Amino acid sequence: MERVFLALWGASSYNEHREYFGKNRRFPMDMVTLGRTGITVNKNGFGALPIQRISQEDAVFLARKAYRAGIRFFDTARAYTDSEVKLGEAFDGIRSEVYIATKTAAQNVEEFWKDLHTSLNNLRTDYVDLYQFHNPSFCPKPCDGSGLYEAALEAKGKGMIRHIGITNHRLSVAKEAIESGLYETLQFPFSYISGEQELELVQLCKEHEMGFIAMKGLSGGLITNSAAAYAFEAQFEGVLPIWGVQREKELDEFLSYIDNPPRMDAELSAVIAHDREELCGEFCRGCGYCMPCPAGIEINNCARMSLLLRRSPSAEHLSPAGQAKMKKIEGCLHCNQCKAKCPYGLDTPALLARNYEDYKRVLAGEVKV
Ligand code: SF4
Ligand code: SF4
């Protein structure tokens, strides 16, 4: 890490940083407005899930570096362990300069308020810019009996949250949320290997004046060309990709796109075409539409493990924790629930079995990755 930077941060006032890196920036940036929220930010959002895995000091460093370079939208979740605490420290004193989105996976009103109070406390703030229902299995609505949407409205009325959003991995819930008119943003997986279904969601959000927050812009590690990933997302007005970073060099890649945004050209189109071809057919997109699995299998990663091992750093996948996740495939009940739900028509149990066989061979050193 560039420790000198931290020293500089400590030595200067936040106002000085704002002056230099904020409104008087020297470079034009790609901007995006998230539907009717009016939130307008640079088209690089910061996904704060991976900072759970690094120290508080390193996480604060990354978030502040992102801020100083022009990133203004930071997305975290109550479920991301200490991610909120880390952002809380990073933005203490400059809270109004950034937009903070967080999420609750509350199943009832009591959990909703508990989560919201905890998030506010962790984030060292008295409001959240965007509060999202975190991948609920149904679309919370007024009078649905859960009381969740009413609680969100009450929190908004009290000024504790400014906008209400939803995140999901299920097309049906996402479409229902858009059509309900109740939500200001949708967060959904969207990358250049997404299919027609996701493109339709982007279009629907535009028609309903909803912001679209694109998660998994690198498809959970399958996409290795970040310039192509950026150029793809840049084509869609109203779409804000949030890049999950945990290393400084990953962040630096995206920060370089603030001043020099990659544009779709013949070279990047060829990269995308090649990846789409290589990843076509019997390939799991990691969307998670088929989950949950009654045997507890993390299908969205296990069913594409062969690709993950070859296209992303393999150490974590091969760790004891990674092995335990893959071993769960042995407990597959062959209920075929996943196969029935997969929108890509994959034979998911068979795909899991093939990935597991390959994984065991890699682990035994029989196959090199
Ligand atoms: S077939 Fe196996 S992997 Fe698929 S949902 Fe059933 S138990 Fe889970
Ligand atoms: S098996 Fe199908 S539904 Fe399940 S994560 Fe993969 S692509 Fe998505």
Neighbours of 177 (CB within 10 A): 30
Confirm if 66 and 51 have CB atoms less than 8 A apart: no
pLDDT value at residue 54: 93
Give the pLDDT of residue 280: 66
Do the domain assignments include residue 306? yes
The pLDDT value given to residue 28: 65
pLDDT of residue 313: 83
First-to-last alpha carbon distance for the chain, in angstroms, is 29
The answer to whether residues 162 and 244 belong to one domain is yes
Is 54 within the bounds of a domain? Answer: yes
| Segments forming the whole domain that contains residue 99 | 3-270
80 among known catalytic residues = yes
Q: Report CA(351)–ligand 2 centroid distance (Å).
A: 10
Q: pLDDT at position 195, please?
A: 86
Quick check: is 284 in a domain? no
Instruction: Determine, yes or no, domain membership for 316.
Output: yes
How confident is the prediction along the chain (369 residues), in pLDDT tens digits per residue? 333 222 223 333 333 333 334 434 444 689 999 999 999 999 999 999 999 989 999 999 999 999 999 999 999 999 999 999 999 999 999 999 999 999 999 999 999 999 999 999 999 999 999 999 999 989 999 999 999 999 999 999 999 999 999 999 888 899 999 999 999 999 999 999 888 889 999 999 999 999 999 999 998 888 989 999 999 999 999 999 999 988 999 999 999 999 999 999 999 999 999 998 887 667 888 878 788 899 999 999 999 999 999 888 899 999 999 999 999 999 999 999 999 988 778 999 999 999 999 999 999 999 888
CA 285 to ligand 2: nearest atom: 7
**Whether 38 and 131 share a structural domain:** yes
Tokens of 201: 């969601």
Q: How far is CA 324 from CA 92, 306, 364, in A?
A: 39, 16, 15
Is 181 inside any structural domain? yes
Read off the CATH number of the domain in which 42 is found: 3.20.20.100
Q: Do 24 and 122 fall into the same domain?
A: yes
Residue ending a domain, choose from 226, 251, 270 = 270
Task: Please give the distance, rounded to the nearest whole angstrom, from the Cα atom of residue 314 to the centre of ligand 1.
Answer: 25
Residues 223 and 350 in one domain: no
The verdict on pTM exceeding 0.85 is: no
Q: Which pLDDT score, from 0 to 100, does residue 192 have? A: 94
In DSSP terms, 103 is beta-bridged to 132
Residues in contact with ligand 1 by the CB-under-6-Å rule are 293-295, 297, 299, 332-338, 348-349, 352
Q: Half-sphere exposure of 156 toward its Cβ, with a 13 Å CA cutoff?
A: 18
Look at residue 276 and tell me if it is in a domain. Answer: no
Whether residue 20 is found in the same domain as residue 61: yes
Task: Please indicate, yes or no, whether residues 303 and 264 belong to a single structural domain of this protein.
Answer: no
Residues 189 and 169: beta-carbon distance below 8 Å: yes
- Shortest-distance ligand to the CA of residue 329: 1
The ligand that comes nearest to the alpha carbon of residue 346 is 2
165 within some domain: yes
Q: Pull the structure tokens for residue 303.
A: 């069913």
Residue minimizing CA distance to atom 8 of ligand 2: 287
Q: Which of 280, 325, 338, 347 to mutate to test the pocket of ligand 2 (most atoms within 8 A of CB)?
A: 338
pLDDT the model gives residue 21: 40
pLDDT at 59: 97
How far does Cα 227 stand from its chain's mean position?
A: 17
Residues 329 and 186 both lie in one domain: no
The answer to whether residues 236 and 339 belong to one domain is: no
Q: Please state the length of the chain.
A: 369
Do residues 90 and 52 both lie within one domain? yes
Amino acid 13: pLDDT: 32
Within this chain, do residues 47 and 120 fall inside the same structural domain, yes or no? yes
Same domain, yes or no: 179 and 261: yes
Distance CA 129, CA 298 (A): 31
What is the count of structural domains for the chain?
A: 2
The answer to the question of residue 170 being in a domain is yes
Minimal CA–CA distance to 317: which of 208, 197, 221, 175? 221
Residues 338 and 233 in one domain: no
